[in-house]
Amino acid sequence: MEKNSNDFTQGSILTKMLKFMLPILGALVLQAMYGAVDILVVGWFGTTAGISGVSTGSSMVNLVIFSVAGLSMGITVLIGRYIGERRPEKVGKVIGGAVCFFIVLSVVLAAVMLIFARQLSILMQAPEEALDLTVTYVRICGGGIFFIIAYNVISSIFRGMGNSRLPLIFVAIACVTNIVGDLLFVAVLHMNVAGAALATVMAQAVSVVLSLVIIRKQELPFTMKRQDICFNREIGNFVRVGIPIAFQEILTQLSFLALCAFINRLGLDASSGYGVANKIVSFVMLVPGALMQSMSAFVAQNVGAGKENRARKAMFTGMIIGCSIGVFITLLTFFRGDLLAIIFTGDAKVVVRAAEYLKGFSLEAVVTSILFSFIGYFNGHSQTMFVMLQGLAQTFIVRLPMSYVMSIQPDASLTNIGLAAPCATIFGIVINVVFFVHYSRSTKKKY
């Protein structure tokens, strides 16, 4: 029964997609809560400078997290492909190679974040009042980056196998631990930003350790030997798929870092307001994010099984699901962003600035559901080079130029700056539609 439920090549597309997507969405909700609780607790028990420090620091940490998540998407796609092709014996080698690769990567990233934290914070134009706090946040998270990377890799492995429930359990453990840690370190011990960063690292460490314990008790659809844990050719296979996705994520996150720097120049209230809005945005993007992750695994299995028509139907099904939910989220963030912002802070100026940004950003809840369904479809086909190029086009042709121009206007409006995101996404949709038409014609010749 379990095996059949993880087989996406047969049965109702809508039912199987929702069944697979909902645990992913749940995991992303918890992950968003995991990140938002830092801002929330610091906002109520710390300082306004602390909000800015966590906001700017977490933007830099997110660059690492999303890049690793993009790279590990190659693992998801490759495992899904091997399972669809009925070659489970290849999965153990994929995982073994991934273990070695990401251990080395975590050592390199930790060194960079620990050594260059201050230079990076200055580059981000962190407000002077929040500079030291930003440096502290980045260094503490850098010291625990191994656990942050390990969580993402473990989750990508199980999504590739069609199992989205275990990643939900892993992130639930992390979320609960993080909330307890934030309340202890920030609310009780008054450690401000340092406490928030410590809680983040501790939560990921606990989640990884417990997830390994849980995995040992699972009946897995593949075998893995000790000799599989080595630098093998499967590393090149998943890296070729994952690097374009990771590169796109790097550039996308760099664009958000640049946006954060643009807004930081507008003062502490604007910086803190954007920090609060950014945490709300992480919730706005939950459904599109869940769609993309589930679509990649869903499509990969069907491509491996030679069922191209089913893969296309899955993409359109995802768009309908995402847009149906996105309309309500758009209306909420456009008209009552202040109600969402006040959850995080009682500072009226910060609330106003957060709501201002959300008004411009609000349409993103709808249009990103369409874009991410396309991206998940192309990821599942290993067309990650195109995914990277369309991401670059969005970032450097629309999002960054528009954000910069809006930020240098007299009495710059955060609403206009926030509008750059949906404008870039609409531009991306046009590119994806054109490529989809071209790609569909070429695949019809094969199937």
Q: Provide the token pair at 190.
A: 């008054």
362-378 mean pLDDT: 90
165-185 mean pLDDT: 83
Q: In 3D, which of 380, 276, 262, 309 has the Cα closest to residue 50?
A: 276
pLDDT of amino acid 174:
82
Q: What are the C-alpha distances in Å from 238 to residues 157, 253, 317? A: 12, 22, 27
d(CA 426, CA 438): 19
d(CA 386, CA 396): 15
CA dihedral 369, 58, 280, 295 (to 10 degrees): 20
d(CA 294, CA 286): 12
Location of structure tokens 């199987």:
16
pLDDT of amino acid 176:
86
Question: Above pLDDT 90, what percent of the chain?
Answer: 9
Q: Provide the token pair at 402.
A: 């528009």
Q: What are the C-alpha distances in Å from 146 to residues 111, 139, 252, 296? A: 11, 13, 22, 25
Q: In 3D, which of 321, 383, 436 has the Cα closest to residue 74?
A: 383
- The DSSP call for residue 185 is I
pLDDT for 313-348, tens place per residue?
A: 888 888 988 888 889 989 998 998 888 888 777 778
pLDDT of amino acid 64:
82
d(CA 436, CA 345): 44
pLDDT for 260-289, tens place per residue?
A: 778 887 878 888 888 788 778 878 888 888
* 109 pLDDT higher than 80: yes
pLDDT of amino acid 224:
67
- The DSSP call for residue 399 is I
Give the rounded distance of the alpha carbon of 376 from its chain centre. 13
Is residue 2 very low, low, confident or very high in pLDDT (cuts 50, 70, 90)? very low
pLDDT for 410-426, tens place per residue?
A: 887 888 888 988 999 99
386-413 mean pLDDT: 86
Q: Provide the token pair at 254.
A: 């760099």
Location of structure tokens 């009946």:
219
pLDDT of amino acid 107:
92
Give the number of other CB atoms < 10 A from CB of residue 417.
26
Q: In 3D, which of 44, 61, 48, 14 has the Cα closest to residue 282?
A: 61
* 18 pLDDT higher than 70: yes
Q: What value does the mean pLDDT of the chain take?
A: 82
| Full-model pTM | 0.67
DSSP string, 307-370: -HHHHHHHHHHHHHHHHHHHHHHHHHHHH-HHHHHTTT---HHHHHHHHHHHHHHTTHHHHHHH
d(CA 299, CA 306): 10
Output 5 or 144, whichever has higher pLDDT.
144
* 1 pLDDT higher than 50: no
Is residue 3 very low, low, confident or very high in pLDDT (cuts 50, 70, 90)? very low
pLDDT of amino acid 223:
67
Question: Above pLDDT 70, what percent of the chain?
Answer: 94
d(CA 276, CA 342): 9
Of 24-33, 233-242, 356-365, which range is least confident? 24-33
Q: In 3D, which of 100, 227, 200 has the Cα closest to residue 141?
A: 200
- Residue 241 and residue 181 in contact, taking contact as beta carbons nearer than 8 Å: no
* 57 pLDDT higher than 80: yes
- The DSSP call for residue 27 is H
Output 103 or 74, whichever has higher pLDDT.
103
- Residue 133 and residue 55 in contact, taking contact as beta carbons nearer than 8 Å: no
d(CA 419, CA 422): 6
Is residue 111 very low, low, confident or very high in pLDDT (cuts 50, 70, 90)? very high
| Of the ranges 70-74, 147-151, 425-429, the best mean pLDDT one | 425-429
pLDDT of amino acid 35:
66
* 4 pLDDT higher than 60: no
238-242 mean pLDDT: 80
Q: Calculate helix-pair angle for 364-380, 48-84, nearest 10 degrees.
A: 30
* 447 pLDDT higher than 70: no
pLDDT for 287-319, tens place per residue?
A: 888 888 778 778 877 877 778 888 888 888 889
- The DSSP call for residue 305 is T
d(CA 56, CA 64): 13
Location of structure tokens 């869940």:
290
Output 263 or 180, whichever has higher pLDDT.
180
Q: Provide the token pair at 280.
A: 């709300």
pLDDT of amino acid 34:
66
